[in-house]
Amino acid sequence: MKKIEIGHGSGGRLTRELIERLFLKYLRSEELKPLEDAAYINLRDQNIAITTDSYVVRPLFFPGGNIGKLAICGTVNDLLVSGAMPGYLAIGFILEEGFPLDSLEDILKSIKETAQYAGVSIVTGDTKVVEKYKCDGVYINTTGVGEVIKPLPVSNVSPGDAVIITGTVGDHGMAVALSRDEFDIKAAVESDCAALNELLMPIMEIDGLKWMRDPTRGGVATALADLSESTGFGIEIFEDKVPVREDVRFISDMLGYDPLYLANEGKAILIASRESADRIVAILKKHPLGHNAEVIGNISAKFRKVKLRTKIGGERLLDMLEEDMLPRIC
């Protein structure tokens, strides 16, 4: 009998296969079919985007954030990269018997502060408690609703477009990995967990902006591989253009990780026309969260898949993550 594996939660190949072969078999709808970060729905002639997500990160508190901040940022960013202005959130908690109230209060404080910063209202919620040892303290589920400012369907993408990343990659994945104390490594790596309203809203008005994605589970490589499969186009990425913190790069080499596959919670991948790419990057760089924004590649019709041009002139394929290197990262 086939069973769920930990890799089914990686956001990579196994996740996509599970969704396509099982979930879509029974839950298919025109709104769900594109499998984007948020779905577009029409309510009385008003275009709305809606998204839902669950958060099971371990540990609950990590450098740069906690599960509460992560839940708000993740939901807000899913709406933003879909071209929607976040407005309202619903939030549900599954709490473990015996969980300290002081810790819950710290999480709720982060939720309040992050929601206020992102300009969203939490309008409904739910709480359930399970027996001790049946939950790792707290799990959080969120649903976000926003008004569509600029639809960004994957069908917008075309050959010749530029691939942009808004900052350094792999920060969140590395911060959470080191906070688990599984490695005897001391480094001041913090999660990039952040709501991206102020960074992304100024570029929504640019005609050349075509598509966005926040590269969380599976990182930049998996997000781009998914884009390649969805469009049928190839993607060429240049290793020397991809911004990576030196400490993240060094520790990744030590542990055998590839920063391109590590999760991010405060970055976005943008696809834009070549003519608009430099303007978009210039706008991004004006904000602290976009200081390291770069054009890292392009869309091509000459091949399929994602190709990485290495610093030494070589080439390797970047496919979807098969096994989850770091489960419970968000």
Instruction: Tell me: pLDDT of 268 over 90.
Output: yes
Supply the pLDDT for residue 330: 92
CA 193/CA 72 separation, integer angstroms: 10
The neighbouring-strand residues paired with 272 are 162, 209
Q: How many residues does the chain have?
A: 330
pLDDT of residue 13: 87
Task: Give the residue with greater pLDDT, 218 vs 323.
Answer: 218
Task: Evaluate whether 322 touches 7 at the Cβ level (below 8 Å).
Answer: yes
Q: Does 263 have pLDDT greater than 80?
A: yes
Q: In the predicted model, is pLDDT for residue 323 greater than 80?
A: no
> pLDDT per residue over 200-247, tens digit each?
999 999 999 999 999 999 999 999 999 999 999 999 999 999 999 999
pLDDT at 64 over 70: yes
Choose the weakest-confidence range: 26-40, 42-56, 72-86.
26-40
pLDDT score, position 10 = 74
Tens digits of per-residue pLDDT, 160-177? 999 999 999 999 999 999
Does the pLDDT at position 262 exceed 70?
yes
Out of 80-84, 95-99, 120-124, the most confident range is: 80-84
Domains defined for the chain, CATH in brackets: 34-148 (3.30.1330.10), 154-317 (3.90.650.10)
Round the average pLDDT of the chain to a whole number and report it: 93
> What percentage of the chain carries pLDDT values higher than 70?
100
* Alpha-carbon distance values, 174 to 29, 64, 181, 263, 302 (Å): 36, 12, 12, 8, 34
User: Residue 58 above 80 pLDDT?
Assistant: yes
249 falls in which pLDDT band (50, 70, 90)?
very high
pTM of this structure? 0.89
Under the banding of pLDDT at 50, 70 and 90, the label for residue 38 is: confident
Which token pair is 98?
Answer: 């015996």
**Closest-CA residue to 141 (of 50, 38, 52, 32):** 52
Q: Which amino acid is at 213?
A: R
Please report the pLDDT score of residue 222 as a whole number: 96
Query: Quick check: 1 pLDDT over 70?
Result: no
Q: Which two tokens stand for residue 116?
A: 């206020």
Per-residue 3-state assignment (H helix, E strand, C coil) for the chain: CCCCCHHHHCCCHHHHHHHHHHHHHHHCCCCCCCCCCCEEEEECCEEEEEEEEEECCCCCEECCEEHHHHHHHHHHHHHHCCCEEEEEEEEEEEEECCCCHHHHHHHHHHHHHHHHHHCCEEEEEEEEEECCCCCCCEEEEEEEEEEECCCCCHHHCCCCCEEEECCCCCHHHHHHHHHCCCCCCCCCCCCCCCCCHHHHHHHCCCCCEEEEECCCCCHHHHHHHHHHHHHCCEEEEEHHHCCCCHHHHHHHHHHCCCHHHCCCCCCCEEEECHHHHHHHHHHHHCCHHHCCCEEEEEEECCCCCEEEECCCCCEEECCCCCCCCCCCCC
Residue 151 CB coordination number (10 Å): 13
Residue 322 has pLDDT above 80, yes or no: no
Residue 42: its pLDDT value, please?
A: 77
% the chain with pLDDT above 90: 78
pLDDT digits (tens, 9 = 90+) for 112-154: 999 999 999 998 888 899 999 999 999 999 999 999 999 999 9
